[in-house]
Amino acid sequence: MTERTRVLIADDHPVVRAGLRDMLSTQADFDVVAEVVNGAEAVTLTTRLQPDVVLMDLRMPEMDGVQATAQIKAQHQDVQILVLTTYDSDSDILPAVEVGATGYLLKDAPREELFQAIRAAAQGKPVLTSSITARLMERMRNPAVEALTSREIDVLKLVAKGAHNKQIASQLYITEATVKSHLIRIYGKLGVDDRTAAVTKALEQDILRLGS
């Protein structure tokens, strides 16, 4: 009898969860033990169910995927985390890998690639798509820019769209003082002095993309 890999799906989009569950159900060696909608639930149910692999989205309410990954790996070293996301910027990839994610896969990956990635992750083998591996290698060769946090990325995206501090504060439900603090940290990490230079540098470094 084939040994089954127990999988927990963490994603806040119902359609994505349903699609993943249906795909995995076609494979005799996968067993979806739970589906959760945020990182906090992923941590709780991982402790309760002890899955072999957690398919972890990055941007979820209450607790994001990076925080959840860090907590899970701190408590359960044997549980493997396979990040499955639409985001492939340095600011998303590096924090997830640094806190212990076994692999990082994009949601547009072919289903066979996903199946192989889950099987490899269950054995503790690192899983990275070729495009992400190339990006990490480039980052190792050019490590000058410190990764921005997801909230700093959110602020910078609005800056790129021409929003002023008051508008950014309103859209992100934070204070203008917090916006200013984020901008100061962004400038420091990117090595720039103003908003225009920050956006330009972020585009050059592929931290931001036009239209994102």
Of 71, 8, 75, 69, residue with least CA distance to 37: 8
Within the chain, which residue ranges are assigned CATH 3.40.50.2300? 5-141
| Burial bucket for residue 139 (CB in 10 Å: 0-12, 13-18, 19+) | middle
Q: State the Cα–Cα distance between residues 8 and 162, nearest whole angstrom.
A: 40
Q: In angstroms, rounded to a whole number, what is the distance separating the alpha carbons of residues 188 and 198? A: 10
Taking only the tens place, the pLDDT of each residue in 129-186 is 766 666 666 666 555 556 788 889 999 999 999 999 999 999 999 999 999 999 998 9
Q: Which CATH number fits domain 150-204: 1.10.3720.10, 3.60.15.10, 1.10.10.10, 3.40.50.2300?
A: 1.10.10.10
CATH of 5-141, one of 3.90.1170.50, 3.40.50.2300, 3.20.20.70, 3.40.50.150: 3.40.50.2300
Closest by CA to 85, choosing from 25, 171, 150, 144, is 150
How far is the C-alpha of 53 from the C-alpha of 174, rounded, in Å?
35
Question: pLDDT 10s digit of each residue in the chain, 212 long?
Answer: 468 999 999 999 999 999 999 999 999 999 999 999 999 999 999 999 999 999 999 989 889 999 999 999 999 999 999 999 887 666 677 788 888 899 998 888 899 999 999 999 999 998 887 666 666 666 665 555 567 888 899 999 999 999 999 999 999 999 999 999 999 989 888 888 899 999 998 888 878 876 65
